[in-house]
Structure 1
Amino acid sequence: MKHSSSPQSATSIPRAPRDDAHARMTKYFIMMSVRVGCFVLMVVITPYGWHTGILAVGAILLPYIAVVVANVGSDSRPVRAVPPGREIEASAPPADAPEPESVIRITETKPESQSRPAPETPDAPRQGDA
């Protein structure tokens, strides 16, 4: 049996793997879109000059940078739990206290008897027939 010395806090829970993967794929997609833009602009813009070299460097280096950034992921170090500022004690309302008007109470009671006749089938003979 596992015993914990302190309760867990919702603020110390790491990001879900699905959300982390989605964030990394989004970063990769954006960087690769910029790379495609660099490549297209490198070919389309004329006359060729210093800007063509910058776009070429971007088209060549961005795949490497995109893979590195996508594989880093989020900071997965465990975070220390944050204790609550104060604890609230649970208490029942006094027995003679009136019930608030905004509260609706629904109660169910089991019926005394549920004696329903069995449904008739078309092939079964009826009591009056014979």
Structure 2
Amino acid sequence: MFRPKRPSATSLPQSPRDDESSRIRKYLVTMGIRVLCLVLMVVVQPYSWYTWLFGLGAAVLPYVAVVLANVGKDAHETQPERPELSLPAQPGSGTPAEPKVIRVAEAPRLTDQPHDGVAGPAPEHPDGDRT
């Protein structure tokens, strides 16, 4: 029989407060680099190819900051894997037992029912027997 394992302290996901502070920290660091790119774009003289590099960084880093801030830890990443459950095997065979299938068929509709709600004669079965 399958007994579920208790999660250990090391396999638990990161707490929401720690996850939020981590994401805020990533966002602030990235936006700090953006501000530095803006300042360097204006201050560094003479203007050259690196001015365009600083400008590109100042334009692209807000998008990168938001994407990094919105990507949280995957809660399923740290969960322990559960073993696969399977049906018990039939004795003498190497394959799992096939599940039993119950088929339900609807009886044909009676067309000669009286209007007072009393059913008419029993319908014929496909085998020819009356039920």
Q: Does 1:40 align with 2:26?
A: no
d(CA) in 2 for partners of 1:23, 1:38: 23
Q: Is the 8 A contact 1:11 1:81 kept in 2?
A: no
d(CA) in 2 for partners of 1:75, 1:57: 31
Q: Is the 8 A contact 1:24 1:70 kept in 2?
A: yes
Letter in 1 for 2:45: T
SS in 2 for 1:34: helix
d(CA) in 2 for partners of 1:51, 1:78: 40
**Which digits, 9 at most, give the CA deviation of each residue in 1:80-113, with x for residues without a partner?**
439xxxxxxxxxxxxxxxxxxxxxxxxxxxxxxx
Matches within 5 A, 1:1-130: 5-81=4-80
SS in 2 for 1:5: coil
Q: TM-score, normalising length from structure 1?
A: 0.56
Q: How many residues align?
A: 79
Moved over 6 A (4+): none
Q: Is the 8 A contact 2:13 2:79 kept in 1?
A: no
SS in 1 for 2:47: coil
Letter in 1 for 2:20: A
Over 3 Å counting, the alpha-carbon distance change for 1:42 and 1:28 in structure 2 is: same
RMSD: 1.7
Listed as ranges, the gaps of 5+ residues in structure 2 are: 82-131
Report percent identity of matched pairs.
Answer: 48
d(CA) in 2 for partners of 1:80, 1:21: 20
SS in 2 for 1:15: coil
Over 3 Å counting, the alpha-carbon distance change for 1:38 and 1:10 in structure 2 is: same
Deviation, structure 1 residue 6: 2.3
Q: TM-score, normalising length from structure 2?
A: 0.56
Listed as ranges, the gaps of 5+ residues in structure 1 are: 83-130
d(CA) in 1 for partners of 2:19, 2:53: 32
Q: Is the 8 A contact 1:39 1:55 kept in 2?
A: yes
d(CA) in 1 for partners of 2:40, 2:50: 10
Deviation, structure 1 residue 59: 0.3
